[in-house]
A and B are shown apart, each in its own frame.
Chain A
Amino acid sequence: MNTTTFLQYCLAGISIGGIYAMIAIGYTMVYGILRLINFAHGDIFMMAAYFMIFAMVDFALPWYVSLALVAIATVLLGVFIEKIAYKPLRSAPRMSIMISAIGVSYLLQNLATYLFSALPKGYPQIPFLMTNINLGGISTSVVTFITPILTIIFVVLLMQLINHTKIGMAMRAVSKDFETSQLMGIKINRIISITFVIGCFLAAVGSVLYFTPRPSVYPMAGSLPGLKCFIAAVFGGIGSIPGAVLGGFLIGLCETFIKAAGYSEFSDVFTFLILIVMLLFKPTGLFGEKIAEKV
């Protein structure tokens, strides 16, 4: 493997990693606050792709309008799911709310199969994103190049929001202690909604970037990327945003190199192995906080 191919793979890995990072942030934020694996997050990501097809193919809207519409629709879907499926179970045992999340995921997949059929649907091309550019000998498409940049920009903005605004402070408080923050006058439901808004917005952006270089969308398209991003979040330490980003990039890079080495069948096996090994040796992840269990 010469340097150019190596760099090309690096770029591809970082690019897919950036997308994973964006989705992983959604998982990690929801887990940080609700202590819930939002199994439906991967399917929200898949629905965002169908929204894009709707906007650009069925309504023939220009791509910038479509992007805005997709973001709005995805965010609404996420918040709606939270209100319907998670909010009523706030005081229920952890297992119930997890089953509810699995139920939503199951529902979204079946709904997508019903509405759009199980056959893959062509994803609309945004011409500007697909143009080829040449970076010092590495030829790549714009989308591959801007994905990591967009990821970094969003993460920096998000960190600013969380560390330096009142809403961010409330979020941190809620994730530290649900009940006490409620006593301090924080409107918990609003904070949770905002978390879902941020998570779903990033999922929508990630969805556009993920599917643009891919030919088609099908109802199960979200489940595996969703699981991988959850693994990225666990890897980085669930609840920690820099951790999720690092985990996303790492898994993206590993996956690309395994595929490059000719073992594409086993790239998912490897990702799951990472999860199991990580959970064994450092269950709190790279940047996770250790939580002592209270008796």
Chain B
Amino acid sequence: MSMKKKTICSLIALLIGVVFLVCVNRMTAPTYILRSVLQMGAIYALVAVSMNLLNGFTGLFSLGQAGFMAIGAYAFAIFTIPLESRANVYYLYGMHEAIANVQLPIFAALLLAGVVAALLAFLFGIPVLRLKSDYFAIATLGLAEIIRIIIGSALMNRITNGSLGLKSIPSFPSIFGVIPGFYFPFLISAVCIAIIVLLIRSSYGRAFKAIREDEIAAEAMGINLAKHKRMAFVISSFFAGISGALLAMFLGAITSTTFNIAMTYYILLIVVIGGMGSVTGSVISAFLVIASKEWWLRFLDTELYIGSFQVPLLKNGFRMVVFSVVLMLVVLFFRKGIMGNREFSWEGFFGLFKRKQKKKTGGEQIG
């Protein structure tokens, strides 16, 4: 397939996507579930891709993503809650004088969220990145917990509002007053993911992959292990921070328990289902997993009666059981996930149909 044809295909796909979003925005009621599913999907796609950059591309098994999201969400929320509602939010402890009157524009706060998360990642990275595989995993898990506990502790009452959490966080703003707020998470996620993709395609990205395949060989080829690992960790945390800020905007209210270990596991589930080492896989899987969790599989949580017969198993919590079973099945039987470590390509996409057709004709010949 020629380059030109591929570009046309991609443009058409992009157009379809945009038209779809516009349709959703114009034609559905503001409370319709598809809207929030899509927005949440975009946010989780970003954090999944950022986790994938670390776990799938650099081979550093990190379980600290939720911690950096928490940092981003809080950094964003603290500086964007409107001044007039601050007294209401911090009604119990009051807000620290140094930040009580500081309010940042949304874009600046969004950037700040990423920068603070990246800065912390840089500091934590100095000790933690020296660890190998499972030790690294457990240390990052520990870091995420430390961050969460400190954010929610009484020590931070006047900054993070302690265990009460923050509310009145502004929702998605319209962009330059032209594009409605509905599109905000999609735009930010798309830009961030595009930056990550560019990074992966650059020489740095190739170095990351070399580290993933074999650290010792990569070092022998002249790749500076410490530098590249630190870079992957910091960049991944930067985008995790931004997605945390987006999530804060989406939810409108956060507490430190929002970002618990289960959240990291949930992001990991998205990454694993999408395929470790595939950006498109993570994006597809984020939308699929969110849609099934928040929408398609909702019925699993409600008791259902047909006549007087109660359908067995269906009750509150069953949905999450189904989810964890799916994760186990993927890990055990489809270890590569949806995409493996390949990326989406038009050849592959059209090849899918061709192969199916071939199989069909092949079957007929035998029959």
Instruction: Please determine whether chains A and B interact with each other in the same assembly.
Output: yes
**Pair B324/A268 contact, Cβ less than 8 Å:** no
Q: How far is the CB of B122 from chain A (nearest CB, A)?
A: 16
What interface size band does chain B fall in?
A: 35 or more
Q: Is the CB of A114 within 8 A of B320?
A: yes
Q: Does B296 contact A (CB under 8 A)?
A: no
The chain A residue with its CB closest to the CB of B324 is A107
Task: Answer whether residue A106 sits at the interface, using C-beta atoms and an 8 A cutoff.
Answer: yes
**Stretch in B26-34, B144-152, B169-177 touching the partner:** B144-152
A234 to B135, CA, bound (A): 9
Given A85-B328, A107-B325, A111-B321, are A265 and B153 neighbors across the interface (CB < 8 Å)? yes
Give bound CA distance, A230 to B61, whole Å: 17
Contact (A94, B327) CB under 8 Å given A102-B268, A113-B320 = no
The answer on a CB contact under 8 Å between A227 and B142 is yes
B321 contacts A110, CB within 8 Å?
yes
Chain A, range 30-55, C-beta contacts under 8 Å to B: 35-37
Q: Is the CB of A102 within 8 A of B320?
A: no
Q: How far is the CA of A28 from the CA of B145 in the complex (A)?
A: 22
Is A146 in contact with chain B by the CB < 8 A criterion? no
Beta-carbon contact of A94 and B149 below 8 Å:
no
Restricting to B139-162, which residues have a CB under 8 Å from any CB of A?
139, 141-143, 145-146, 149-150, 153-155
Cβ B131 vs Cβ A279 within 8 A:
yes
Q: Which residues in chain B, 112-142, are within 8 Å of chain A measured between CB atoms?
A: 127-128, 130-131, 133-135, 137-139, 141-142
1/0 contact string of B325-350 vs chain A (CB within 8 Å): 10110011001000000000000000
**Residues of A contacting B: mostly:** helix
Q: How far is the CB of A143 from chain B (nearest CB, A)?
A: 28
| B317 with A269: CB separation less than 8 A | no
B318 at the interface (CB under 8 A from A): yes
Taking the nearest CB of chain A, how far is it from the CB of B88, in angstroms? 25
Q: Are B328 and A107 in contact (CB under 8 A)?
A: yes
A96 at interface by CB-CB < 8 Å: yes
Which residue from chain A places its CB closest to the CB of B162 in the assembled complex?
A265
Q: In whole angstroms, how far apart are the Cα atoms of A269 and B67 in the complex?
A: 13
Q: Is A61 an interface residue (CB 8 A)?
A: no
Interface residues in A95-133 by Cβ distance below 8 A to B read 95-96, 98-100, 102-107, 109-111, 113-114, 117-118
B139 touches A276 (CB 8 A): yes
Determine whether the beta carbon of B268 is less than 8 Å from that of A99: yes
Most buried by B among A110, A113, A234, A265: A110
Bound Cα distance A88, B149 (Å)? 37
A98 and B328 in contact, given A265-B153, A272-B142 (Cβ under 8 angstroms) = no
If A85-B328, A280-B130 touch, whether A227 touches B141 (CB-CB below 8 Å) is yes
Query: Any chain B CB within 8 A of the CB of A92?
Result: yes
| A65: interface (CB < 8 Å) | no
Does B204 count as interface, using CB distance less than 8 angstroms? no
Q: A95-B61, A100-B331 are in contact. Are A227 and B145 (CB under 8 A)?
A: yes
User: Chain A's nearest CB lies how many Å from the CB of B272?
Assistant: 6
Tell whether A183 is near chain B: CB-to-CB under 8 Å: no
Bound: A103/B325 CA distance, A: 8
Closest to A88 in B: B332
Distance, CA A171 to CA B142, complexed state (A) = 30
Partner of B327, one of A98, A103, A272, A279: A103
**When A and B form their complex, which 3 residue pairs have the shortest distance between CB atoms, in order from nearest?**
A272-B142, A114-B317, A107-B324
Q: Taking beta carbons and an 8 Å cutoff, which residues of B are in contact with A?
A: 55, 59, 61, 63, 127-128, 130-131, 133-135, 137-139, 141-143, 145-146, 149-150, 153-155, 216, 261-262, 265, 268-269, 272, 276, 315-318, 320-321, 323-325, 327-328, 331-332, 335
Q: A104-B328, A107-B327, A110-B317 are in contact. List 13 more A-B contacts (CB 8 A).
A: A85-B328, A88-B332, A94-B134, A95-B61, A96-B335, A109-B262, A110-B324, A113-B317, A223-B261, A275-B138, A275-B139, A275-B142, A276-B127
List, sorted by A's number, 19 A–B pairs whose CB atoms are closer than 8 Å: A85-B328, A85-B331, A94-B133, A95-B133, A99-B272, A100-B331, A103-B327, A103-B328, A106-B324, A107-B324, A107-B327, A111-B321, A227-B138, A265-B153, A265-B154, A266-B153, A275-B138, A279-B135, A279-B139
